[in-house]
Amino acid sequence: MRAADRRQLAELEQLRRAIEEHNYAYYVLDAPTVPDAEYDRLMRRLTEIESAHPELITPDSPTQRVGASPIAQFGEIRHNKPMLSLENAFDEAEVAAFGKRIGDRLRAAGFDAGDMAFVGEPKVDGTAVSLRYEDGIFVLGATRGDGSVGEDVTHNVRTIAGVPLRLRGKRLPRVLEARGEVYIPKRAFEELNRRAAERGEKTFVNARNAAAGTLRQLDPRITASRPLNVFFYGLGEVDGWDLPETQSGILKALQAFGLRTSPEWELLEGIQGCLSYYETIGKKRAQLPYEIDGVVYKVDRLQWQDALGFVSRAPRWALAHKFPAQEELTTVRDVEFQVGRTGALTPVARLEPVFVGGVTVSNATLHNMDEIHRKDVRIGDTVIVRRAGDVIPEVVSVVLDRRPAKARVVELPSTCPVCGSDVVKAEGESVARCVGGLYCAAQRKEAIRHFCSRRAMDIEGLGPKLIDQLVDQDLVRTPADLYDLTADELMKLERMGEKSAEKLLRALDKSRETTFARFLFALGIRDVGEATAVALARAYDSLDSLMDATEEDLQEIPDIGPIVATRIHSFFQEEHNREAIKKLLAKKVHWPKPQAPSAVAAHPLSGKTVVLTGTLSSMTRDEAKEKLTALGAKVAGSVSKSTDYVIVGESPGLKAQKALELGVDVRTEQQLLDWIKAAPE
């Protein structure tokens, strides 16, 4: 290499380091060290050199933030560690209940929870992202999506100046996924809408929509032209790096890596500290340069987070405490009743459209007749309507001094507005229900959707829109009718070609072979979820014996109380339900004969608590869970002292390490297969 080339290469590296240091000072520390003119001079010089020597351009060069060419569509990214949602609280009582729940759980797990610390952060109103760094270099950016699968927005994330293309530090993780919230500052949002209005273009409703829409532009150059920023708050997948012991330690580590964290985060003492923080941030809300809709509390100790685990798709150790909802006045034009899957009639207020919380609201829930009577809502009333975040708008109260003389009292219909069947309201219940069951078109659609869902009969390709067409065209009235569908009938439907029809028919045929528990869950019996269906399948060795069981018999099953027992018994006593089941069996829907309760009880896994970690090569995680529960085991999501076995697949996570620390028995996938093979026929 010539001396001149070496000098230029040295200058190139010096420029890149200097620019990244200035970016870090400006975007992460909020303390710029040079004027804009000097920053621009350095960037121009770097661009000059790279233009003359394009072979020297690297993916982490500061010049690579400019938008690339437009792309045709976004690819899908599966999150190795799901991006979870948060439980919401709207008042102090709910926050206190959160504190009590986690305190009770921690003490039950053997921890001294008397001195609980939390991390508090503003809940930024933007769009969630996950950024993947490999050996310190940014390689992938994805949206949250449904929590399991997001969209590939790498090109757009690369344009965000607050996102480092290379992490700071010398000992960097082999893999680090940083989770954060992309947002657009208030002033930038106002300017964006002002320019759009001047050009006669559509404006954004709120800053959150602007951030989400900008991040999902197919042309990254548009994203680059808009001043998005980001705060990081947590981690996804991590490899080759020892995690800190606390959430606050994670935030400090993120900052040290050059990943921007909220300057407003604080370490809080107990629930009272959380409530004080909520009040403090609430007072600052209007002055903050970005929109927030509440604050987030997270248990500080990661060990405690692991012990608390998750419920559904939300962690038990975190809570979003929302600020008071935005409210507006409007009038009730009418009240209509919608019919749900279980036949529940929900009154919905049709409103004079009003702009609330960033959206135009024309409908609001009234919950049930008891709520209507309690609030004394009448057609024609002026009401206060509330929209809290993404929660369904609701009517809060009536402005009585504006009530017109001709305001009409809302009455519960005596017959179903969909099918004309009787409507009944059981004593002691607030919800009225249509008794039409599977014969009611409204219930029919929802019942069939549930029947086809992944955790029920798992009929791939039979989505809501297709089900709507099948029911609307009277091709399907009960679940059994699905198995009579022909290719000719399917090909007449919208967006259904020959290949799609054949694929769906194969999926339907495959679904005929199921499990007893899945079949029971698929029936849609009120209050019978997956766990209850498993308990029923474990307790009865045939469908006939279950259908003939008395309420007293059913209450003998663990975790089934009198209310659920009544629901199950009533369901099987309804003749049209028995007829629907008979039709399904006639269509050759079947399952292996359930093991007798005594056989299950004799299995080594019966009554044991099992945790799965890592990737299994012989089956999916859901399949393994089904097989374990069929053997009488309880499958948990986190490792604790009460765990009996941890089954480890490929690339296990922290659960395997925690099992070793707690002395929990660790088993391999092969040992799991041996257990399954040893199950009695």
Those residues of the chain that have pLDDT short of 50 are 1, 66-71
Give one DSSP letter per residue of 350-411, joined into a string.
EEEEEEETTEEEEEEE--SHHHHHHHT-EET-EEEEEE-TTSPPEEEEE-GGG--TTPEEP-
Domain identity same for 14 and 35: yes
Which pair of structure tokens corresponds to residue 613? 């970690």
- Looking at residue 567, which CATH number applies to its domain? 1.10.150.20
- Provide the Cα torsion 243, 248, 251, 253; round to 10°: -50
In a domain, 89, yes or no: no
Domain identity same for 50 and 133: no
Domain identity same for 491 and 553: no
Q: Which of 28, 20, 18 is nearest to 162 (CA)?
A: 28
pLDDT in tens, 530-560: 888 988 988 888 899 999 999 999 998 877 8
Which pair of structure tokens corresponds to residue 73? 């569509």
The pLDDT, as a whole number, for residue 388 is: 57
Domain identity same for 296 and 357: no
Domain identity same for 394 and 260: no
389: CB partners within 8 A, 6+ apart? 88, 293, 294, 322, 325, 357
For residues 131 and 647, give the distance between their C-alpha atoms in angstroms, rounded to a whole number.
29
Q: pTM of this prediction?
A: 0.50
In a domain, 420, yes or no: no
Domain identity same for 338 and 309: no
* 54 φψ region: left (φ > 0), alpha (ψ -120 to 50), beta (else): alpha
Would you give the DSSP letter of residue 27? I
577: CB partners within 8 A, 6+ apart? 437, 438, 523, 571
In a domain, 85, yes or no: no
In a domain, 84, yes or no: no
Q: List the catalytic residues.
A: 123
Domain identity same for 9 and 121: no
In a domain, 422, yes or no: no
In a domain, 250, yes or no: yes
- Looking at residue 617, which CATH number applies to its domain? 3.40.50.10190
In a domain, 31, yes or no: yes
Choosing from 462, 487, 511, the residue where a domain stops is: 511
Its domain, for residue 32, covers 3-65
Q: Measured at the alpha carbon of residue 308, what is the angle toward residues 304 and 312, in degrees to the nearest 5?
A: 145
Domain identity same for 306 and 352: no
583: CB partners within 8 A, 6+ apart? 478, 480
At 30, give phi and psi (nearest 5°): 55, 40
Q: Which of 474, 523, 533, 469 is nearest to 496 (CA)?
A: 469
Strands 634-636 and 609-613: parallel
- Looking at residue 376, which CATH number applies to its domain? 2.40.50.140
Yes or no: say if 297 and 120 are a contact pair by the CB < 8 Å rule. Answer: yes
The long-range contacts involving 307-310, CB below 8 angstroms and separated by at least 24 positions, are: 307/105, 307/106, 307/109, 307/111, 307/638, 307/640, 308/102, 308/105, 308/106, 308/638, 309/636, 309/637, 309/638, 310/84, 310/637, 310/638
Yes or no: say if 387 and 361 are a contact pair by the CB < 8 Å rule. Answer: yes
Domain identity same for 43 and 123: no
At 299, give phi and psi (nearest 5°): -55, 130
- Looking at residue 49, which CATH number applies to its domain? 1.10.287.610
Beta bridge partners of 481: none
pLDDT in tens, 575-625: 778 888 999 999 999 998 755 555 555 677 777 888 888 888 888 877 787
- Greatest extent of the chain over all pairs of C-alpha atoms, in Å: 94
Yes or no: say if 631 and 600 are a contact pair by the CB < 8 Å rule. Answer: yes
Choosing from 322, 356, 377, the residue where a domain stops is: 322
What single letter denotes the amino acid at residue 585? L
Choosing from 477, 511, 545, the residue where a domain stops is: 511
The pLDDT, as a whole number, for residue 445 is: 85
Q: Residue 254: in which H helix or E strand, if any?
A: helix 247-256
* Mean pLDDT, the chain, whole residue set: 86
Q: Measured at the alpha carbon of residue 192, what is the angle toward residues 188 and 196, in degrees to the nearest 5?
A: 170
In a domain, 80, yes or no: no
Strands 645-648 and 394-398: unpaired
SS3 sequence of 612-634? EECECCCCCHHHHHHHHHHCCCE
The pLDDT, as a whole number, for residue 266 is: 97
Domain identity same for 634 and 493: no
Question: For residue 644, with 0-12 CB atoms within 10 Å meaning exposed, 13-18 middle and 19 or more buried, which class applies?
Answer: middle
Q: Residue 252: in which H helix or E strand, if any?
A: helix 247-256
Q: At which residue do the structure tokens 């002292």 appear?
A: 641
Could you give the number of structural domains in the chain? 6
Which pair of structure tokens corresponds to residue 506? 């194969």
Show the DSSP H helices in 548-668 as ranges.
551-554, 562-573, 575-586, 597-602, 621-630, 654-662
The pLDDT, as a whole number, for residue 390 is: 54
For residues 92 and 94, give the distance between their C-alpha atoms in angstroms, rounded to a whole number.
5
Domain identity same for 133 and 274: yes
- Looking at residue 162, which CATH number applies to its domain? 3.30.470.30
Task: Return the axis-axis angle of helices 92-108 and 270-284, rounded to nearest 10°.
Answer: 150
Domain identity same for 191 and 54: no
Q: What percent of the chain is helix, strand and coil (3-state, nearest 5)?
A: 40, 20, 35
Yes or no: say if 112 and 252 are a contact pair by the CB < 8 Å rule. Answer: no
